[in-house]
Amino acid sequence: MASANANFTDIIATTIESRSRKVADNVLANNAGLARLKSKGKVKTFSGGHKIIQELSFAENPNNGWYSGYDILPTGAADVISATEFTIKQAAVPVVISGLEQLQNAGKEKMIDLMEARIQVAESSMANLISAGFYSDGTGAGGKQLTGLAAALPIDPTATSYGGIDGNVFTFWQNYVQNDANTSTIEASMNEIWGFTQRGADRVDLILADFVAWNAYLAVQQGRIQFVNSKTADSGFQSIKFFDADVVLDGGIYPSGALSGAVGAPTGTMFFLNTNYIHFRPHANRNMVPLSPGKRHAINQDAEVQILAWAGNLTCSGRQFQGRLDVNA
């Protein structure tokens, strides 16, 4: 059946289009890790290609060295730049309107108000979808999910290739792991991860923890002065300090009282991130936009739909600067 209002899908599409930048910003603001990447300029679009290419430096220039006077300086070719490859992942949230709702909201202002409300729900749904993907290993939804932190910082960094590079062959492509911490040893384990992922002034700046790991860390912090990072707090996330890194509880509201949920860090896990080497790469033409401005009618229903769509992935260009801690509760 034809839609009750032939122009309504246009209103849906143009409303999404006009809000696309705001929707994208709000989705990033929903997750502490993505919010940090945005603040550091690590959200960078790409324009096309079969895969997302993320450049990285894996070795020093072998021609470096000391010299004196007229010494001959080495100028041999040095292959020190490589790149990782990441599959383009896609996400979508349909915004649906029935013919009856169109009739009931026939005035232009009412249409816009209704669509604003629908798009806000779609925005929230997309934010939760992306947040869940941010922590995933990329195998969810039949391998269609975002390749998130569980893939970038696995418990065994040599088990599978990541970004097209085998960590079992190339040791520079291994994140540091501590997976035997408990409440009494968590601080020592955190100290170890901090030390082994640091290179001069280049160090972890954000630690994302689920409720179990967060609570274990707080247990050894009782009675100590805790410093809150005002900049992180201004972004909507409460944090305490571990050295000068922000420790943020990013566990979400868990269903049925469980300690693991769909949108937060895995149970008992801390991800130690040097966000200089973590990147969020949306496609320039598919970053929270209507999937197509054309009309989409249901074949056997009096309804229309427009789709809020996103494509891209989370990438890493320095796996050795990242760490993971798993707490045995």
Averaged pLDDT for residues 292-315: 78
CATH of 8-55+84-327, one of 2.40.30, 3.90.1690, 3.40.50, 3.30.470: 3.90.1690
Q: Are 306 and 12 in contact (CB under 8 A)?
A: yes
Q: Structure tokens of 7?
A: 């122009």
Q: Tokens in use for 262?
A: 């769909």
Q: How far does CA 12 lie from the centroid of its chain?
A: 27
pLDDT (tens digit per residue) in 103-150: 777 666 666 667 777 778 888 888 889 999 999 999 999 999 999 999
Q: Which residues neighbour 220 within 8 Å (Cβ) at sequence distance 6 or greater?
A: 183, 184, 186, 187
Select from 133, 153, 125 the least CA-distant residue to 280: 133
Whole-prediction pTM: 0.81
Q: How far apart are CA 80 and CA 77, in angstroms?
A: 9
Q: Where are the alpha helices (DSSP H) in 220-285?
A: 230-234
DSSP E strand stretches across the chain: 52-57, 81-86, 89-98, 176-181, 206-209, 239-242, 245-249, 269-273, 278-290, 303-316, 323-327
- Spatial neighbors of 12 by CB under 8 A, at least 6 apart, are 95, 97, 115, 118, 290, 304, 306
pLDDT digits (tens, 9 = 90+) for 166-206: 999 888 899 999 987 776 788 899 999 999 999 888 899 99
Calculate the alpha carbon distances from 79 to 63, 76, 151, 319 in Å: 11, 10, 27, 19
Q: What does pLDDT average to over the chain?
A: 80
**Is the Cβ–Cβ distance between 267 and 274 less than 8 Å?**
no
